[in-house]
Structures are given as structure tokens and as C-alpha cells.
Amino acid sequence: MNPRLAAALVAFAILFGLSLMLLTGKILYAVLILLGGLALKTLIAHKAGL
């Protein structure tokens, strides 16, 4: 696995965990959807070779 990809995914996981601890309600769900979308976009870009 590419070290840059691993670092990005670890950063997303840390942000995900912090969001779960600090946020509540609709803001929490919005942030989790945003982070999930960005992580998915990162993985797709990696698979495409960009």
C-alpha cells in the first residue's frame, strides 16, 4: 500500500473518531457523510492512478 494513501486513510479515521466523540445530531451525520465521501473519493483516485 502506498504510504501516502495509508496516511490519508489514517487521517480520515482520526477525524471520524473525533467527530463521533465531539459532535451530536445532524451535524454529526453531515460530517460523517462528508468524511466517508472524501475517503471513497481518495480510494477511487488511488485505483485510477491519479
In sequence order, the 6+-apart residues with CB closer than 8 A to the CB of 13 are none
Every domain of the chain and the residues it spans: 3-48
> What local confidence, expressed as pLDDT, does residue 25 receive?
96
Do 28 and 19 touch, CB atoms closer than 8 A? yes
- pLDDT by 10-residue block (mean), the chain, 50 residues: 94 98 97 97 93
> What local confidence, expressed as pLDDT, does residue 49 receive?
87
Burial of 43 (0-12, 13-18, 19+ CB in 10 A): middle
> What local confidence, expressed as pLDDT, does residue 1 receive?
80
Please tell me the chain's helix, strand, coil percentages from 3-state DSSP, rounded to the nearest 5.
Answer: 90, 0, 10
> What local confidence, expressed as pLDDT, does residue 50 receive?
78
